[in-house]
């Protein structure tokens, strides 16, 4: 009888061990998943039907008809207050792309004031764009903080021997405006949040040559990002994205993680 019981217990332990190995394998595969462009749901960008005023407010009717999406992929969270909501919208017309970010933010924080500095260490809105529907090694980048300090660049992955490089002399003309409800760099109180509205001329994306025209039915690759700094000192940030990035320890410049926007009426 004891021998039978021992056999049953041994078999049970082996089964548990096998299940754990299967679950671990599934978890590992998920964390190492290699996304391809097009795996994510397509983000619809509506055509503006009225004149867009760049004032950090969504007063125009066009903003209400275009798709809005929250950044549900949040990384480097250390505190419950690190998870804060971001809502993103886009519009287009014959001459411009329009971006609108809405940020819930309890602690408004910014330091950078110069162009081509490091606004990504502050509360910062970012977008990376490939003006064709493909995962290329080159993308246009725009990073802007609460002070509207811009870091704009063209980013080259695998430029030489696997190294990356950013062309910082790319300094196009574009417009942006910010509104905020709270006090910047004062964590003695809780803030409500901030908004950013951006107008980027389509012609900017011709800097390197031909690109996919902005018209109904065409698609571009992109990644919209938020850097959220809640501490006055240091450089700790929480990163959130519109599409998932499984290897956030690397960086956010991973075009095979980008999704697609589609221009619609």
Q: What is the pLDDT of residue 36?
A: 64
Mean pLDDT of 44-54: 98
- Express each pLDDT in 186-210 by its tens digit: 999 999 999 999 999 999 999 999 9
> Both tokens of residue 167?
């062309």
pLDDT of residue 249: 79
Round the average pLDDT of the chain to a whole number and report it: 88
CA atoms within 13 A on the CB side of 3: 0
What is the pLDDT averaged over residues 219-232? 95
Distances (CA, A) of 259 to 89, 115, 171, 231, 256: 14, 28, 25, 31, 8
Convert the pLDDT of each residue in 81-91 to its tens digit. Answer: 899 999 999 99
Task: Tell me the pLDDT tens digit for each residue of 83-141.
Answer: 999 999 999 999 999 999 999 999 999 999 999 999 999 999 999 999 999 988 999 99
In this predicted structure, the answer to whether residue 43 has a pLDDT above a threshold of 70 is yes
Residue 19 pLDDT greater than 80, yes or no: no
Taking only the tens place, the pLDDT of each residue in 147-188 is: 999 999 999 998 988 899 999 999 999 999 999 999 999 999
User: CA-to-CA distance for 154 and 142, rounded, in angstroms?
Assistant: 9
Give 7 or 216, the one with higher predicted confidence: 216
Contacts of 14 by beta carbon, 8 Å cutoff, 6+ apart:
none
d(CA 127, CA 120): 11
Beta strands in the chain (DSSP E): 43-47, 68-70, 73-75, 86-92, 96-104, 124-130, 138-145, 150-160, 163-167, 175-181, 193-201, 219-228, 238-241, 259-264
Percent of the chain with pLDDT over 90: 74
Give the model's pLDDT for residue 248.
81
Task: Provide the pLDDT confidence category of residue 46 given band limits of 50, 70 and 90.
Answer: very high
- CA 208, CA 117: separation in Å to the nearest integer? 23
């Amino acid at each position: 009888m004891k021998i039978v019981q021992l056999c049953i217990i041994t078999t049970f332990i082996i089964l548990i061990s096998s299940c754990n190995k299967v679950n671990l394998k599934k978890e590992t595969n998920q964390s190492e998943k290699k996304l391809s462009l097009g795996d994510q749901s397509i983000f619809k960008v509506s055509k503006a039907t009225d004149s867009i005023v760049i004032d950090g407010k969504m007063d125009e009717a066009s903003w209400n008809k275009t798709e809005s999406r929250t950044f549900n992929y949040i990384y480097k969270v250390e505190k419950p207050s690190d998870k804060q909501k971001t809502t993103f919208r886009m519009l287009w017309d014959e001459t411009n792309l329009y971006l609108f970010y809405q940020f819930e933010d309890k602690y408004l924080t910014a330091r950078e004031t110069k162009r081509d500095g490091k606004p990504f260490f502050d509360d910062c809105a970012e977008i990376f764009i490939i003006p064709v529907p493909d995962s290329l090694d080159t993308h246009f980048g725009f990073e802007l903080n609460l002070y509207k300090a811009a870091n704009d660049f063209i980013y080259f992955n695998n430029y030489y021997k696997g190294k990356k490089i950013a062309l910082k002399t790319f300094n196009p003309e574009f417009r942006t405006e910010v509104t905020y409800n709270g006090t910047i760099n004062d964590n003695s109180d809780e803030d409500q949040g901030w908004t950013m509205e951006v107008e980027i001329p389509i012609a900017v994306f011709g800097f390197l040559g031909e690109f996919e025209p902005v018209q109904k039915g065409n698609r571009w690759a992109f990644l919209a990002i938020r850097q959220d700094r809640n501490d006055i000192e240091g450089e700790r940030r929480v990163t959130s994205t519109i599409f998932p990035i499984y290897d956030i320890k690397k960086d956010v410049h991973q075009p095979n993680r980008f999704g697609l926007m589609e221009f619609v009426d």
